[in-house]
């Protein structure tokens, strides 16, 4: 299908399919004939997708959602647009659809965080929880804001923040126009800002974190 991606193989070195070298479109294209090659797409993106889904739903649901995401991607690989070198938007899109099925879980956990300041999602990962407590008020309000957003707005907002997608990529992921992404992000941002209104963000002590 995509001749452009195929030509990349011509000058490959010893380990061309090595994850850094072939682009996703090439791997996916090749996986149509050799399904096992699709494992490369998993190795390349599963950690990122897993972390994203975990942030939204917690570790338990994330395992299922991530597994389902890659199963659905594998099954749908024929439909992959070979002009897209990176599969990230595609995979985030599939994951987002699957996350929707767990909307109640997501919102319930946000509400718990809002009400109690304890985040069910991060508890298993937070050994030094004391470091986090200083930002408790902000986190609770962020949770409140996220819980109240319409699902489609929350999806887009988190794709461009936690997912690190550009607006164009988020539009691809959600299969909506870029303009819609922009307006949803803007609206979602202002709601979050409103919610944070009562908190002076600058008063939050700097946590140690690594993004």
Partner 1 sequence: MNEMTQLNRLRSEVPWPDPTELRAEEQRLLSEIAAFGASSPARPPGRTYRLPDRPVGLRGILRVNLRTSLAIGAMAAAITAIVYFAPSAPDKGSAVQVAPVAMSAVLQRAADTASERDDLAPNPGQFLAYELQVMFPVKLKEDGKEVRYLDRSLFKVWLPVEGSPLDGGVMSSEHLEPKPFPGESLPAEAKRREGGVAAPSKLTGYDIRPDHRRTDYAYLSRLPTDPAGMREHLYRDLARDPLADYTAWGNVGSMITRAYMPAAQRAALFRAAGTIPGVETVNEAEDAAGRRGVAVAMVNKFGGVRHEYIFDPTTYLYLGERVVVVDAATAGAPEGTLLTSTAQLKVEVVDHAPEVRTG
55 binds partner 1 (CB under 8 A): yes
Total of residues contacting partner 1 (CB under 8 A) = 61
115 binds partner 1 (CB under 8 A): no
Q: How far is the CB of 192 from partner 1 (least distance, A)?
A: 5
18: tokens are 């090595």
18 binds partner 1 (CB under 8 A): yes
Torsion of CA 181, 150, 197, 159, to 10 degrees: -40
205 binds partner 1 (CB under 8 A): no
Q: 3 φ, ψ to 5°?
A: -65, -35
135 binds partner 1 (CB under 8 A): yes
Integer CA distances (angstroms), 150 to 6, 146, 156, 209, in order: 42, 9, 10, 29
Footprint on residues 168-197 left by partner 1 (CB under 8 A): 189, 192-193, 196
152 binds partner 1 (CB under 8 A): no
Length of the chain: 211
Q: Please select the residue that binds partner 1; options are 118, 162, 176, 180, rule is CB under 8 A.
A: 162
Q: How far apart (Å, rounded) are the C-alpha atoms in residues 2 and 10?
A: 14
136 binds partner 1 (CB under 8 A): no
DSSP 208: P
204 binds partner 1 (CB under 8 A): yes
């Amino acid at each position: 299908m995509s001749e452009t991606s195929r030509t990349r193989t011509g000058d490959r070195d010893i380990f061309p399919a090595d994850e850094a070298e072939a682009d996703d479109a090439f791997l996916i294209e090749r996986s149509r004939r050799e399904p096992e090659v699709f494992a490369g797409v998993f190795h390349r993106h599963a950690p990122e997708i897993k972390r994203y889904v975990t942030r939204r739903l917690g570790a338990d649901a994330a395992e299922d959602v991530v597994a389902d995401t890659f199963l659905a991607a594998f099954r749908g690989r024929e439909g992959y647009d070979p002009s897209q070198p990176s599969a990230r938007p595609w995979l985030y899109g599939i994951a987002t659809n699957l996350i929707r099925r767990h909307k109640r879980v997501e919102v319930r956990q946000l509400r718990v965080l809002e009400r109690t300041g304890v985040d069910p999602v991060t508890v298993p990962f937070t050994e030094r929880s004391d470091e986090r407590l200083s930002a408790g008020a902000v986190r609770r309000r962020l949770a409140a804001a996220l819980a109240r957003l319409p699902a489609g707005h929350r999806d887009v907002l988190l794709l461009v923040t936690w997912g690190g997608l550009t607006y164009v990529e988020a539009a691809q992921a959600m299969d909506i126009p870029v303009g819609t992404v922009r307006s949803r992000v803007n609206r979602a941002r202002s709601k979050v800002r409103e919610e944070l209104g009562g908190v002076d963000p600058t008063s939050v002590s700097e946590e140690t974190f690594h993004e």
